[in-house]
Amino acid sequence: MGKVLNEKGLVYRNKIAWEIFSDSLKELKPSGIFVLTDENTLKHCLPYFLKRIAFKIAPETITVPAGEIHKNISTSLTVWEILSEKGADRNSLIINLGGGVVTDLGGFVASTFKRGISFINIPTSLLAMVDASVGGKNGVDLGHIKNQIGVINLPEMVILDTGFLKTLPDEHLTSGLAEMLKHGIIHSKEYWERVKNIDVSKKAEFEALIWDSIEIKKEIVTKDPLEKDLRKTLNYGHTLGHAIESYFLENPDKKTLLHGEAVAVGIVLATYISMETYGFPKESLHDVSKTIFKYFPKQTFSKKDIEAIIKLLVFDKKNRNGQVLFVLLEDIGHHRTDCVVSNSLIYSAFEYYKKI
């Protein structure tokens, strides 16, 4: 059994997790239970979940459309209305069963319905397990701009069961690797060396790396829950990554990127900028780039694309007083926060990405 975080937000893993989950339901004594799924987890994950829990109160299932494009206020409004119509009160419980979209949106809905009701996250994607479900960030997108509306509020607990990963398409499994690779880069050379050669076919080793990745995020979040400094390092590669993801989401001529695919590009760009700005070792830059391209296909960017992506940087949540602020590295495991980067250097980073 594993535990992560303090008080609310504990993360439990393996079979004992379901026993703890059942015991917690008895302690919470919810007046009603609502399971939030999307169209995919309704089909592929809900049956697996229901086989593991004997509910005294039959849960109601609320299903939202799948995909980042639906992580918005409109979908939240629909869920709020359903909760209200079904008589949910302040003692109700929402169980978010799904990937990052479901846990982000479900946590936001729960945190705001009747000024806050309890919720539990059960992440079903690798990305959600190692990132979205841990740390208490809940929210929705504003148009195509990522995570502009939200709150920080911990779930009652997080249940981690890697059995759900068997339901994932390959590209969604790979998407989660981007966050694990990011954890390696910001944490230590030791973890980076382990995670860069990850082999998902070796179950025990893969699960150990997943848990280590969660532990890394837990350690950072516990030290800096409100993102004053250290927690900003979890945004490594995300400043440009989120802008790229938003641009591809709104542009009909571009194929929508999964979060991890966009962050993978952002990691390469941020690492190049780190080399130019703070002397991040060139050989490590090549190692990071080679590793990213081992798992993620290279994307193409025209000058027009890059111009549009740079314009989207103004919406990044780390910005202060009109300045776009980056997280950069001096070396693997050695960070700098609140770094100002010129547009010309961003262009150079895209040029590096194109040529590498």
Per residue in 260-304, pLDDT tens? Answer: 999 999 999 999 999 999 999 999 999 999 999 999 999 999 999
Determine, yes or no, domain membership for 3: no
Q: In the sheet that 33-38 helps form, which strands lie side by side, from edge to edge?
A: 10-13, 157-160, 118-123, 93-98, 33-38, 60-64
Q: What's the rounded mean pLDDT across residues 125-131? A: 94
φ and ψ at 121, to 5 degrees? -100, 130
> Does pLDDT of 201 surpass 90?
no
Q: How far apart are CA 88 and CA 154, in angstroms?
A: 20
DSSP 65: -
What's the pLDDT score for residue 142?
95
What's the pLDDT score for residue 13?
80
Determine, yes or no, domain membership for 292: yes
Determine, yes or no, domain membership for 333: yes
Judge if 71 and 187 occupy the same domain. Answer: no
Per residue in 141-180, pLDDT tens? Answer: 999 899 999 999 999 999 999 999 998 999 999 999 999 9
150 forms beta bridges with 139
φ and ψ at 56, to 5 degrees? -80, -35
Judge if 151 and 280 occupy the same domain. Answer: no
**Could you tell me which of 37, 39, 33, 82 has the C-alpha nearest to residue 53?**
33
What's the pLDDT score for residue 7?
59
Judge if 62 and 184 occupy the same domain. Answer: no
User: Binning pLDDT at 50, 70 and 90, where does residue 57 land?
Assistant: confident
Domain final residue pick, 142, 167, 192: 167
Q: How far apart are CA 244 and CA 248, in angstroms?
A: 6
Domain final residue pick, 167, 199, 230: 167
Q: How far apart are CA 332 and CA 133, in angstroms?
A: 25
Q: How far apart are CA 132 and CA 285, in angstroms?
A: 26
DSSP 297: P
> Does pLDDT of 5 surpass 90?
no
What is the Cβ-side half-sphere exposure of residue 189, based on CA atoms within 13 angstroms? Answer: 8
Percent of the chain at pLDDT > 70 equals 98
Judge if 273 and 316 occupy the same domain. Answer: yes
Owning domain of residue 191: 170-355
Query: What CATH number does residue 242 fall under?
Result: 1.20.1090.10
Judge if 257 and 151 occupy the same domain. Answer: no
Judge if 207 and 337 occupy the same domain. Answer: yes
Q: What's the rounded mean pLDDT across residues 20-36? A: 95
Find out whether 165 and 174 touch, Cβ atoms under 8 Å.
Answer: no
Domain final residue pick, 167, 198, 213: 167
Judge if 198 and 311 occupy the same domain. Answer: yes
Judge if 215 and 127 occupy the same domain. Answer: no
Q: How far apart are CA 140 and CA 71, in angstroms?
A: 5
Judge if 120 and 264 occupy the same domain. Answer: no
Query: What CATH number does residue 36 fall under?
Result: 3.40.50.1970
Judge if 283 and 317 occupy the same domain. Answer: yes
Lowest mean pLDDT among 10-14, 26-30, 196-200: 10-14
**Could you tell me which of 198, 226, 201 has the C-alpha nearest to residue 212?**
198
Report the sign of the C-alpha dihedral through residues 15, 19, 24, 25, in that order: positive
User: Binning pLDDT at 50, 70 and 90, where does residue 347 land?
Assistant: very high
Residues contacting residue 61 through CB under 8 Å, at least 6 positions apart? 34, 35, 37, 42, 46
Determine, yes or no, domain membership for 142: yes
What's the pLDDT score for residue 4?
59
